[in-house]
Amino acid sequence: MLSKEQVQFYEENGYLHLKRVLSHEELAALQAATDRLIKFSTTLQVPQADYGYKKNLATGKQVLGRINYLTKRGVEFQALYGHPQLLDATASLLGDDFVMGDEAMVVKMPEFGAAVPWHRDLPSPLMTRATDALAVIGLDLDKSTIDNGCVYVIPGSHKWGEVDIQELVMEHGFNLPNALPMESEPGDMVIHSANCLHASKLSRANTLRRTIYFGAYNIDRYISDYKATPAHVKIQRQYLLRGIQLRQQMRYANGEQPFQLKGSPAWQVDLDENDHVEWAMPQSHPHRH
Ligand SMILES: O=C(O)CCC(=O)C(=O)O
């Protein structure tokens, strides 16, 4: 579990940086799997909404910036749904009744990585505490620096309530007061609350920056604020269970203590051998971060 101090830090600041969460072996496997995806989707521009490209105005070329729904694209990504430290941190922040979804990779290619403007991920007007509803979890696969377009957060901004982000940007440009760069090492995990303002700059560096994101929701708030259906929640609980099971077959999870999925009886799900979990989000999914 996270320590009381870590949870308190997250409550107060709206983000939390955990170092070296991925082992070297798992990191290498994820780097190789994402290398393959990047090779595939930069050789040709994939004409699907899950693959996001941004135009490099200097060259006129479309450059890969994002790939959604990674679990459809490799067992390494499915096994992350069972990562004990990731799930443990989530349970510490959101309680045992949680689900995860929306896994995606944000990528900043060498020479051109598009900026991500200041925003909140699915802001909830009802939300007053960082731990209330949605935590966005980023796993860094590369060294993430100011130079190659790391994420910036504004500590405490999750408590601001309604705010006109456009107006702030008009006044200050990218450099909003108290903006803090989240420089990180490969394998680090940075969690931010949905209401915490964050952004990243255009990168012209010659290094690659990849971050795998998950959205983790407290189930009650997922249903009340984000209108998820109970059926949907159950499917996502099955993803967790499948991820935990599947992870035990991965070489790099050898000797690892599997995460124990707890929670209210209403959200307990089973997987028997014949169950087949589709690793694709149901249509009713309310949001992408
Ligand atoms: O990783 C980044 O550069 C920011 C990504 C982000 O905030 C988003 O996709 O909503």
Ligand 1 neighbour 209 (Cβ under 6 A):
no
- Count of CB atoms within 10 A of residue 185's CB? 13
Ligand 1 neighbour 90 (Cβ under 6 A):
no
**Phi, psi angle pair for 104, to nearest 5°:** -155, 155
Task: List the chain pLDDT tens, one digit each, 289 residues.
Answer: 899 999 999 999 999 999 999 999 999 999 999 999 999 999 999 999 999 999 999 999 999 999 999 999 999 999 999 999 999 999 999 999 999 998 999 999 999 999 999 999 876 666 666 667 889 999 999 999 999 999 999 999 999 888 899 999 999 999 999 999 999 999 999 999 998 999 999 999 999 999 999 999 999 989 988 889 999 999 999 999 999 999 999 999 999 999 999 999 999 998 866 566 666 554 444 444 5
Task: Mention every residue, 6+ apart, whose C-beta is less than 8 A from residue 27.
Answer: 141, 186, 187
Q: Residue written as tokens 């409550």?
A: 11
In eight-state DSSP terms, residue 100 is E
Q: Tell me the sheet residues that pair with 110.
A: none
pLDDT of residue 133: 80
Interval 39-90: pLDDT, tens: 999 999 999 999 999 999 999 999 999 999 999 999 999 999 999 999 999 9
246 and 238 in contact (C-beta within 8 Å)?
Answer: no
Atom of ligand 1 nearest to the CA of 121: 10
Ligand 1 neighbour 116 (Cβ under 6 A):
yes
Q: Please give the distance of CA 232 from its chain centroid, rounded to a whole number.
A: 19
- Cα of 177 from ligand 1 centre, angstroms: 19
Supply the residue whose CA is at minimum distance from atom 9 of ligand 1.
289
Mapped onto helix, strand or coil, the DSSP state of residue 247 is helix
- Cα of 23 from ligand 1 centre, angstroms: 23
Ligand 1 neighbour 127 (Cβ under 6 A):
no
Q: Which of 213, 214, 287, 288 for a ligand 1 pocket mutation test, highest count of atoms within 8 Å of Cβ?
A: 213
239 and 280 in contact (C-beta within 8 Å)?
Answer: no
Supply the residue whose CA is at minimum distance from atom 3 of ligand 1.
200
Closest CA to 244 of 73, 88, 95: 88
Ligand 1 neighbour 102 (Cβ under 6 A):
no
Cα 229 from Cα 219, distance rounded (Å): 10
Supply the residue whose CA is at minimum distance from atom 8 of ligand 1.
289
pLDDT of residue 273: 60
Interval 34-49: pLDDT, tens: 999 999 999 999 999 9
Cα 208 from Cα 268, distance rounded (Å): 40
pLDDT of residue 282: 45
- Cα of 136 from ligand 1 centre, angstroms: 10
Q: Tell me the sheet residues that pair with 192.
A: 15, 136
What is the DSSP pairing of strand 180-181 with strand 151-153?
A: antiparallel
Walk across the sheet containing 209-218 and list its strands. Answer: 15-18, 189-193, 134-140, 209-218, 98-108, 61-68, 51-56
Residue 224's H or E segment, with its range, is helix 219-224
Supply the residue whose CA is at minimum distance from atom 7 of ligand 1.
199
Global pTM reads: 0.94
Per the document, the length of the chain is 289
